[in-house]
Structure 1
């Protein structure tokens, strides 16, 4: 009887070892599970599904929702100040009118940048990049988009100077990325602060992204960030083959978030940080 029990115990132990999810359990598949791969949760213009975009309220909400980073857009006022706003005019997101480049910082600070979203945010104003860095350095990663930089000669140097002033020019311990649809501007910024990671933004193109483009990007960029409508597992694999990562944009539904998680995106830019599964 003792011999039978001993043999049964050995058998049970063998079965448990075979099915136990140990460190080599999925080695034969050669792929990481969602739990094993950390996907950056990047709040687009802050948590802009829940607070007015590109305001301190939206950035605070992103931090509250435990996003890894938040994204913001930087332009330049008439008097050369770096301001955080998406459109090249203030018409859509404030109670004012006019082009960003034609308004002084003082004029923009007088505008209501929250009521268009909800009266609960009536006190929100257009922040400066410096104000955002002052408040959130060390609290959150920040993805900085140079918006329409051709309208603002010298904006690359201005942003570099602001990052340097905040000791973010060598961000070993701070997650800072600078990106733009203007790839010449990205290259300019990279030449000024080569230790700060940079990304190229890409709108939808039915022809996709060629290997020749990826070869060109990898000379200066760390990230290739296309519209989510261009993304599939094959494109992500090719971007990785060129030693770059990808943060597709912009997720506004759970289905898209789940798809990007499944195909292996490195980060997800989303208006709704809670749509991205929490990482371990």
Structure 2
């Protein structure tokens, strides 16, 4: 009698295990806890650029409202030496003007409409200055500063350092300013000027086969290795972590992409849609 009871018991346990494991595995592959989400650094790419025109005050304010940890900005320089926030090296795509940023004066840049291309409700949005962004948002959210094509703007590293020092933002105690660039020489120069600020190396798809030696070299002056998301693997994440650097890939534009990066073990995600990474309600 006892043997029969044990047999039935083991049959029940077996079927419970068989039918429950697939469901559990599937759930584990696509979900993660609120606690884990809060550990993930949520970087709003060019502001919350899925919701407002990129690199505008509206997009930065939206990132604050969505409770991102940082927003990312692209800094370039006008013909007359003003630091302005715009991604492309021309104004053609995101404004009603034409021409290279470095060939236009600040007055000419400032006269452009940087919002209508996204939606008419943003008509009249201007290209902001670096100083305006810092003054409006410091203390409210972290700012990830990208030196955009610094080879076009000799001296831009010094100008950025001066602006930060004038605001006593060169000695943060909360790591709320990070500087990065695809130009690794520029990152090294900036690190020399601002040794107390964390810096990051940006890496495009061509860095898919980055070596351990290259990562170790980056780690001598950078705190982050921030690659294109398409080259990120668990192995790369582990190798970056082994050097002491953190990794924040760019640019996630879907929930599926954000979930994949999360499960690869990255430290942060650069995204057009902060809600995919850190699901706070929008105020």
Would you call these one fold, judging by a TM-score over 0.5? yes
Q: Structure 2 vs 1, CA of residues 207 and 72 (structure 1 numbering), >3 Å: closer, same or farther? A: closer
2: CA distance, partners of 1:75 / 1:205: 24
Structure-1 residue corresponding to 2:73: 72
Structure-1 residue corresponding to 2:99: 98
2: CA distance, partners of 1:216 / 1:137: 31
Structure-1 residue corresponding to 2:54: 53
Post-superposition CA distance 1:145-179 (Å, at most 9, x none): 00000000000000111111121100113500000
> How many Å apart are 1:49 and its aligned residue?
0.4
1:215 aligned to 2:182? no
1: CA distance, partners of 2:171 / 2:255: 35
Post-superposition CA distance 1:181-206 (Å, at most 9, x none): 00000000001110011000000127
Partner SS, residue 61 of structure 1:
helix
Consecutive unaligned residues in structure 2, runs of 5 or more? 1-31
How is 1:1-280 mapped onto 2 (pairs within 5 angstroms)?
Answer: 35-36=35-36, 38-173=39-174, 175-205=176-206, 207-278=208-279
Structure-2 residue corresponding to 1:22: none
2: CA distance, partners of 1:89 / 1:226: 24
> How many Å apart are 1:277 and its aligned residue?
3.6
1: CA distance, partners of 2:208 / 2:85: 33
Q: Aligned pairs, how many? A: 248
> How many Å apart are 1:227 and its aligned residue?
0.3
TM-score by length of 2: 0.85
RMSD in angstroms over aligned alpha carbons? 1.5
CA contact (8 A) 1:54 1:86 kept: yes
> How many Å apart are 1:269 and its aligned residue?
0.1
CA contact (8 A) 2:142 2:176 kept: yes
CA contact (8 A) 2:48 2:273 kept: yes
1: CA distance, partners of 2:252 / 2:174: 27
Partner SS, residue 35 of structure 1:
helix
2: CA distance, partners of 1:239 / 1:256: 20
Partner SS, residue 145 of structure 1:
strand
CA contact (8 A) 1:40 1:266 kept: yes
Q: Which has the higher helix share?
A: 2
Post-superposition CA distance 1:206-264 (Å, at most 9, x none): 74211011011011000000000011111111101000000000000111100111111
1: CA distance, partners of 2:207 / 2:182: 17
Partner SS, residue 205 of structure 1:
helix
Partner SS, residue 160 of structure 2:
helix
